[in-house]
Amino acid sequence: MWSPNDSSLTQNKLFHFLLLEIICIVLMITDHSAKIATPIRAAISTVTYPLIKIVELPQKAYQFISSSVSNQQLLLNQNIELKQQLSQAQIDLLQLEVISQQNSELRELLQAKRQLPLKTTAAFLININTGDNNHHFIINQGFNQGVTIGQAILDLNGVAGQVFSVDLETSHVILITNENHALPVEFLRTGIRTYVYGTGDLDTLYLPEIPQSASVEVDDILITSGFGGVYPRGLKVATIKSIKDSQDKSYKQADAQPSANLNLLKQVLLVWSDLNQPSNTEFLAPEKLADETK
């Protein structure tokens, strides 16, 4: 028999749980069929939407900043890589142009070699020094290639200098513009013979003693006379660019433009004369060369 001291059924926790479960099931069935909770969910969603966006804002900001930084770094890396590729392409193109130019110059040298009635060999410059009183350069041919002291050196346009020192694999060449160099020449037009001297200027040679009776004109061409046994006869040396009288009027004096392009020498021709091949000829200063040829 029920007693007041017994626990009330309404106070039983299990009863509460079962009751709530039944209510939930009824509500779910009702909502599924009648959609009675849709307005409530819509109202709750509307109320909580700003809060959700506020909560999501830091995460989205982080994602945006991270994506921007990543994209910027990717663009920088791509930019650097493209610049490197462009630089390499420019270097490759420059090398191709240099190789093409060298091939063209070599072909011109070979053509000039065929036209010369002399034994010639192409050589490359490996060093050049055109300081005061020091107009000389080094070529990549030496004793092992048969180079001899005194040997004539040409470029495509004319006489450039002569060998004055020979090592095993290299040779030192002095330019005709060196102040210590003299070269016996003759005028192609008249056959008059004289000496042309270096001035220390790559663009100027000097003729100090031309007879007053000689017919000399601007643009006259000077060629090697063959005297001295160093330079074969008939090689183009220079072109007269100005003429004047000496101070005592006893001689004419002239400046000449070297035929060889001494400012842009890259490859040269070593020349051997079949008739006058130099063997122990040394470089001669102007005074010694003048005495040698008298």
> Per residue in 257-290, pLDDT tens?
999 988 888 888 888 765 434 333 333 443 443 3
- pLDDT at position 80, please? 76
Domain boundaries, the chain: 23-115, 119-292
What's the pLDDT tens digit per position in 172-193?
A: 999 999 988 999 999 988 889 9
Instruction: Kindly list the distances between the CA atom of residue 293 and the CA atoms of 145, 176, 180, 207, 225, in Å, as whole numbers in the listed order.
Output: 29, 17, 16, 17, 11
Q: What is d(CA 57, CA 101) in angstroms, rounded to the nearest whole number?
A: 65
Q: In 13-51, which positions are buried (b, 16+ CB within 10 angstroms) versus exposed (e)? A: eeeeeeeeeeeeeeeeeeeeeeeeeeeeeeeeeeeeeee
% of residues, the chain, pLDDT over 90: 25
- pLDDT at position 43, please? 72
Tokens at 281, concatenated: 């000829």
**CA 227 distance to own-chain centroid:** 42
- pLDDT at position 94, please? 55
Q: Is the alpha carbon torsion for 116, 291, 287, 197 positive or negative?
A: negative
What's the pLDDT tens digit per position in 16-30?
A: 778 888 888 877 777
Q: Are strands 152-154 and 267-272 parallel, antiparallel or unpaired?
A: antiparallel
Res. 122: pLDDT tops 60: yes
Pick one of 2.40.30.10, 2.40.10.350, 3.20.20.210, 2.60.40.2140 as the CATH number of 119-292: 2.40.10.350
What's the pLDDT tens digit per position in 198-226?
A: 998 999 999 999 998 999 999 999 988 88
State the chain's mean pLDDT as an integer.
Answer: 77
Residue predicted with more confidence, 276 or 62: 62
Res. 163: pLDDT tops 80: yes
- pLDDT at position 185, please? 93
Mean pLDDT confidence for 102-109: 63
Q: What is d(CA 238, CA 197) in angstroms, rounded to the nearest whole number?
A: 11
Q: How much is the pTM?
A: 0.55
Question: pLDDT class for 91, splitting at 50, 70, 90?
Answer: low
What's the CA dihedral at 157, 193, 179, 293 to 10 degrees?
120
